[in-house]
Amino acid sequence: MAKKPALGRGLDALITMDEVTTSGSSSISEVPLSQIQPNPDQPRRVFDEEALRELAVSIKQLGVIQPITLRKIDDDTYQIIAGERRYRASMIAQLETIPAYVKTAEDENVMEMALIENIQREDLNSIEIALAYQNLIETYSLTQERLSERIGKKRTTIANYLRLLKLPAEIQMAIRDKKIDMAHARTLVTIENPEVQLDVYQHILNEDLSVRKVEEYVRAINKGETLEEIIQEKEVVDLVKKGKIQKATPEEFDVLKKHLSKFFESKVQLTCNEKGKGKITIAFNSDEDLERIITKFDQLRR
């Protein structure tokens, strides 16, 4: 796991790194909490209440180690650029003031600065980042290329985040709540039908599917198979692996034969006597066809 930046690292370093500039000056002041208001365009939407309480306890004991960053709205009002989590914890700790960098910044730069700090600190989930990118693009008429230049992220990275917003709301919430990760979600995006996306998403949760397995499912779906067919084929493969097909009923043998034929892409025959003994015959038409079938068996052993 990558090491997170130390608490003492200021926003000025992040601004320099990502070439975000502001007009005016900055200074550190003790600002009354009563004069501070959150930024309505803050990209971070989810705050862990338990983590806030833990931070509040630390602030009571040690104070606010790193100042938050504000911009001055008028003589008695400041808006948060970065540090809303520290602001909220300070409120819980019942502080009267909080140390803050007070900056002069344009509206566009305020959101960029908040976005950059949160991303650098890995505080945002994938959906929050995607919404923040979309907000910047729409509000300031930016192209993905221009946004890429402004925040120091590759255009393909920005495009991948924005694609997440095409997913159904239930899946977006699951990403936000870390029920599935971004790699799962990026695979689901390639399915055109939202209902199928939701079906595969539920199957991911039910079976705790790996990203690799989801990619296999999605490839099959995009070739025209239904999720039900894919699941049935998996059940057949599991039966073959476990050696349990000899106990199947005649009707189940028909289903097994159909799915084995589909899996091996070749004609399959099943025979079974009353004692449950029998054999499976797989037809092939050439050396290349046999090699293809052997490759299928290799897949079963994985």
Cβ neighbour number for residue 98 with a 10 Å cutoff: 24
Integer CA distances (angstroms), 163 to 174, 192, 215, in order? 15, 12, 17
Fold of 126-222: Arc Repressor Mutant, subunit A (1.10.10)
Q: Is the pLDDT of residue 8 over 50?
A: no
Q: What is the mean pLDDT of residues 60-77?
A: 86
Instruction: Return the pLDDT at 24.
Output: 41
Q: What share of the chain is helix, strand, coil (3-state, %, to 5)?
A: 55, 15, 30
Query: What is the three-class DSSP state of 234?
Result: helix
The model's confidence at residue 11, banded by pLDDT at 50, 70 and 90, is: very low
With 0-12 / 13-18 / 19 or more C-beta atoms within 10 angstroms meaning exposed / middle / buried, residue 162 is middle
Q: If you compute the radius of gyration of the chain from its CA atoms, what whole number of angstroms results?
A: 28
How many Å apart are CA 52 and CA 86, to the nearest integer?
Answer: 8
Instruction: Return the pLDDT at 276.
Output: 63
Q: Which residue has the tokens 């095409």?
A: 166
With 0-12 / 13-18 / 19 or more C-beta atoms within 10 angstroms meaning exposed / middle / buried, residue 266 is middle
Domain residue ranges in the chain: 11-112, 126-222, 239-300
The model's confidence at residue 287, banded by pLDDT at 50, 70 and 90, is: confident
Instruction: Return the pLDDT at 110.
Output: 66
The tokens of 198 are what? 């939701």
* Catalytically active residues, by annotation: 84
Q: Is the pLDDT of residue 230 over 50?
A: yes
The tokens of 98 are what? 């909080």
How many Å apart are CA 31 and CA 77, to the nearest integer?
Answer: 10
Query: What is the three-class DSSP state of 155?
Result: helix
Query: In this structure, what DSSP letter does residue 83 have?
Result: -
How many Å apart are CA 292 and CA 235, to the nearest integer?
Answer: 21
Instruction: Return the pLDDT at 240.
Output: 58
Fold of 11-112: 3.90.1530
Q: What is the mean pLDDT of residues 261-273?
A: 78
How many Å apart are CA 148 and CA 159, to the nearest integer?
Answer: 10
- Dump pLDDT digits (tens) for 82-134: 888 899 999 999 999 999 988 765 655 666 666 666 555 556 788 888 888 88
Please indicate whether the domains covering 11-112 and 126-222 agree at the CATH topology level: no
Greatest Cα pair distance in the chain: 92
With 0-12 / 13-18 / 19 or more C-beta atoms within 10 angstroms meaning exposed / middle / buried, residue 213 is middle
Residue 32's φ and ψ, nearest 5 degrees, are -60, 135
How many Å apart are CA 89 and CA 102, to the nearest integer?
Answer: 19
Tell me which residue of 238, 181, 234 sits closest to 210, measured CA to CA: 181
